[in-house]
């Protein structure tokens, strides 16, 4: 009989270790980095205690839309959370890599400003980025390892998906409701037929699809 491999899910271990030393531990993640259109969205989430429903949290990409929506509400109701947006114009000007660094830096500065008297630590998904703050750990595939990072990926994705669905009304024909701006074949075909809209990322060299 073939042995079943147990799927690893994020845990609260790293947060629990840091909370003994720091007042708040925020997990941070972004969504939309590879999208052809629309903004970059990032979120930060800090839990002040563990919850039984943590066992349902996972990398947002591995959850159904309904599951993400339910968990997003639970997370927002039971955590300290922040959301940050980087507009398409900034992505086009700076490039998506720098925009990705900037969105985390903006979140950190926003949180530090609100909690000036508190000692805060940040667990950030991804590779090390040049952020001028010492209390930061960058964790590759952090949304599969840390509860607070996975939670931030969930609320960021639910927020961004809603933005993209609403943009379908302003920019019909690209099916942003379905593809959320990502480069599906249907989306590439629509670019060829309709051209690029003002919310497409020109810095992605999308003209090759025209």
DSSP H stretches of helix in 53-119: 65-77, 88-94, 96-114
What is the pLDDT averaged over residues 10-14?
A: 93
Condensed to tens digits (0 to 9), the pLDDT of residues 111-163 reads 999 999 899 999 999 987 788 788 999 999 999 999 999 999 999 999 999 99
Query: Which domains, and CATH codes, for the chain?
Result: 13-166 (3.30.420.10)
DSSP-assigned beta bridge partners for residue 37: 200
Query: What sign results for the dihedral spanned by CA atoms 95, 58, 71, 151?
Result: negative
- Tell me the pLDDT tens digit for each residue of 40-94: 999 999 999 999 999 999 989 899 999 999 999 999 999 999 999 999 999 999 9
Signed CA dihedral, 105, 81, 24, 19: sign only: negative
Average per-residue pLDDT in the chain?
A: 93
Given a cut of 70, whether residue 109 has pLDDT beyond it is: yes
pLDDT at site 7: 56
* Cβ pair 44, 26 in contact under 8 A: yes
Q: Three-state SS for 30?
A: strand
The pLDDT of residue 134 is: 86
- Please state, in angstroms and as integers, the Cα–Cα distance from residue 71 to each residue in 50, 74, 84, 209, following that order: 14, 5, 19, 37
Tell me phi and psi for residue 168, to 5 degrees: -60, -30
Q: What is the DSSP letter of 5?
A: P
The tens digit of pLDDT for each residue in 85-104 reads 999 999 999 999 999 999 99
Q: Maximum CA pair distance of the chain?
A: 57
Q: Is the pLDDT of residue 171 over 70?
A: yes
Rounded to 10 deg, the angle between the 65-77 and 147-170 helix axes is: 120
Q: Specify the pLDDT at position 3.
A: 46
Residues ≥6 apart with Cβ < 8 Å to 150: 10, 27, 29, 57, 58, 59, 60, 142, 143, 144
Q: What are the strands of the beta sheet with 24-31, ordered from one edge?
A: 80-86, 40-46, 24-31, 120-125, 136-139
pLDDT given at position 128: 78
Asked whether residue 15 carries a pLDDT value surpassing 60, the answer given is: yes
């Amino acid at each position: 009989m073939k042995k079943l491999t147990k799927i690893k899910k994020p845990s609260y271990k790293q947060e629990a270790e840091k909370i003994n030393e720091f007042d708040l531990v925020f997990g941070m993640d972004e969504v939309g980095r590879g999208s052809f259109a629309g903004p970059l969205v990032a979120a930060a989430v800090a839990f002040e205690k563990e919850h039984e429903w943590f066992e349902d949290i996972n990398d947002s990409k591995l959850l159904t839309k309904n599951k993400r929506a339910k968990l997003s509400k639970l997370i927002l109701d039971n955590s300290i959370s922040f959301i940050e947006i980087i507009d398409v114009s900034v992505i086009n000007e700076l490039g998506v890599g720098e925009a990705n660094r900037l969105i985390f830096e903006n979140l950190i500065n926003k949180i530090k400003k609100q909690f000036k008297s508190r000692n805060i630590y940040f667990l950030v998904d991804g590779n090390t980025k040049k952020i001028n703050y010492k209390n930061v750990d960058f964790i590759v595939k952090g949304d599969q390892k840390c509860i607070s990072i996975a939670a931030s990926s969930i609320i960021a994705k639910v927020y961004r998906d809603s933005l993209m669905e609403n943009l379908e009304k302003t920019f019909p024909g690209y099916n942003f409701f379905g593809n959320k701006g990502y480069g599906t074949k249907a989306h590439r075909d629509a670019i060829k037929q309709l051209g690029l809209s003002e919310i497409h990322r020109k810095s992605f060299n999308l003209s090759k699809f025209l």
